[in-house]
Structures are given as structure tokens and as C-alpha cells.
Structure 1
Amino acid sequence: MPPVFSAVSTLPQPLDLTVTAPIEKDGAFATFVTVPGSAEVLGTRRAVKVGGTIDGHEFAATLMPSGEGPHWLPLRSALCRATGKSRAGEQVTIVLQRRLS
């Protein structure tokens, strides 16, 4: 008898979360943004791969659990250069458009 495989969707799932928040520099990541409401929208406090835009620039990244509720979005230096923002306190607008995992 052949093995039975469960069908797990690997297709991106749409998301609709827009947040404007300050860049932070502290903790586990050099540069990151706390994404309020992420745990409620995603239905989990675990790491989740997402895609969307930051100040209009496309990105794909893993939202990391903070342990306190919302997720942290680590900002890579290339994305900071693209947005022209990397200092703590500078506001960025994040639009989460799809869940990749």
C-alpha cells in the first residue's frame, strides 16, 4: 500500500495588516520593528514568514515572536538603505500582504 501524504498548502495566504511604527535598536536584532496586532492577525505567537512592503519597498522576512504578544520584524541593512531609514525612532509603514508559511 502506498504511503499517504497530507496536503499542506505552500501557497501564499493573503494578509491585510498595515502598521506605522518606529524602528527599534535593542534586543536580539540589530534593527527591527515591533508589529502591533500581529499575533491576533496571524493567529499564532510563533515565527511566521511574510511578504509585503515597507515604505513601498517589497520584502519577504520572518516575523519573530517577542514572547510578549506582538512579533518583531528584523530589518535587513539593504531594506534600511532602500527606505533611507535605519535610526531608532524613525517611523516606517509596514504592509503585510501575504503569509508565506
Structure 2
Amino acid sequence: MPKATAPTRFKARLLRPAKPADADWLFFVLPQQASDALPTRSQASVDGTLEGQPFQATLDPDGKGGHWMKVEAELAQAAGVAAGATVAVQVAPVAEEPQPKVPADLEAALAAQPPARATWDDISAVARRDWILWVTSGKKAETRVKRIAVACDKLAKGQRRACCFDRSGMYSNSLCAPEPAE
């Protein structure tokens, strides 16, 4: 099936995550047909609208071949929606991949290792996003610390990609949508 570059329209139910209990954000899982129209099973950056309110977001893989989207409180408020609402959504792949937000601990490690930073500065936004996803997808704090060290070592040696990482979560069961509170 060819991947869409035109907008994909669908309806989704807004859910509140079970964890953290004090989350001020919501989320929805894309219908499979909408996920299938995206160019990748891994993270996909999109321009879109939620109840007519424009946004740009990076959709996360749900580990089942689909995607889910975190809806920040500001977007929900601007769209006038709340948990439990069924919303009209439109998404299309971005024309140019946005630069990912680098976690502070990874940023500090890169700053401390100029050779790693040089490779980091030379790789694409998608490659950076993959490194960040690999670092942050570990479930334990010590795993994250170890992955940052490994990432910096590999980047310092010129490795441009987070090799052998299941970007979709389908094979490692490492990625999934949040559990809903309801």
C-alpha cells in the first residue's frame, strides 16, 4: 500500500494515562488505517489538526504496527477538548523533519565528549531521534546511564545510527501506548 503524503483524516477517543497519576496530558491511539498511511512503523513526525487546532508532533509507535499521540494540555485546551471526547484528527507527514529535543543527561554527555558531539552534529534529525529513542526506551535508570555511555562511545567512533534497535517496538515489545486510566 503506498504511503500517504496527503492528509489522513480519522476520529479518535482522547484518553488520560494511568501513569503518572498526575499527568496533565492526554493521548489517543491512531486507527490502524491511519497508521498504515504513515511512512514508517517507528516514530513519525506529522503536521495536523485536532478539532481544527493545528499542531506538529512526533507520533510514537505502539509496538503493534500502529502509532499513538501525546496531546499536551495546551493543545487540548486550545481545541476545547477533554478526556473521553471523540475528536476529529487530520495528520500528514512533515515536509521537513524537526530537530528532536535532546534530554539533558544525553546533552551533557555529548558536551563532555567532543568526538561524539561532532558525529551528533553531522547526523540527520531522524538519526538523532533514533539515538534518543534508544537511550530513553530503557525501563531502568541504570539502563539509561549505560545506553548514554554506549551511545557516546559509538558516536565518538563515527557510528551514525543506533544499530540493531527495534524502532517499531513490534519485535522487542519495548514500545507501547500508555495504559489508559479508565
Q: Same fold (TM over 0.5)?
A: yes
- What's the TM-score bracket when you normalise by the shorter of the two chains? 0.7 to 0.9
Q: Deviations over 1:41-68 (max 9, x none)?
A: 1142100111011100110001000001
Of 1, 5, 16, the residue aligned with 1:25 is 16
Q: Normalized per residue, which structure has more helix?
A: 2
Inter-partner Cα distance in structure 2 for 1:61 and 1:84: 18
- Relative to structure 2, which stretch is displaced further, 25-34 or 61-70? 25-34
* Aligned 8 A contact 2:60 2:67 in 1: yes
Unpaired segments ≥5 residues, structure 1: 1-12
One-letter amino acid matched to 1:26 = P
Where relative contact order (Cα < 8 A, 6+ residues apart) is larger, the structure is 1
Greater strand share, 1 or 2? 1
Partners in 1 of 2:9 and 2:18 — Cα distance?
24
Using the alignment, how far apart are the partners of 1:15 and 1:64 within structure 2? 20
TM-score normalised by L of structure 2 = 0.43
- For normalisation by structure 1, the TM-score amounts to 0.74
**Per-residue CA distance 1:9-44 (angstroms, 9 max, x = gap):** xxxx83321011100123678411111123311142
1:54 matched to 2:50? The reply is yes
- Structure 1 CA distance for aligned equivalents of residues 73 and 7 of structure 2: 25
RMSD of equivalent CA atoms? 2.1
1:5-16 equivalences in 2 (<5 Å): 14-16=5-7
Which residue in the other structure is 1:84 paired with?
80
> In 1, Cα distance between the equivalents of 2:45 and 2:51?
19
Aligned residue in 2 for 1:65: 61
Is residue 44 of structure 1 aligned with residue 40 of structure 2? Answer: yes
Separation in 2, partners of 1:51, 1:71? 15
What does residue 90 of structure 2 align with?
95
* SS of residue paired to 2:77: helix
Residue 92 of structure 1 aligns to which amino acid in structure 2? V
Between the two proteins, what is the percent identity of the paired residues? 27
One-letter code aligned to 1:47: Q
Please identify the structure whose Cα radius of gyration is greater. Answer: 2
Aligned pair count?
88
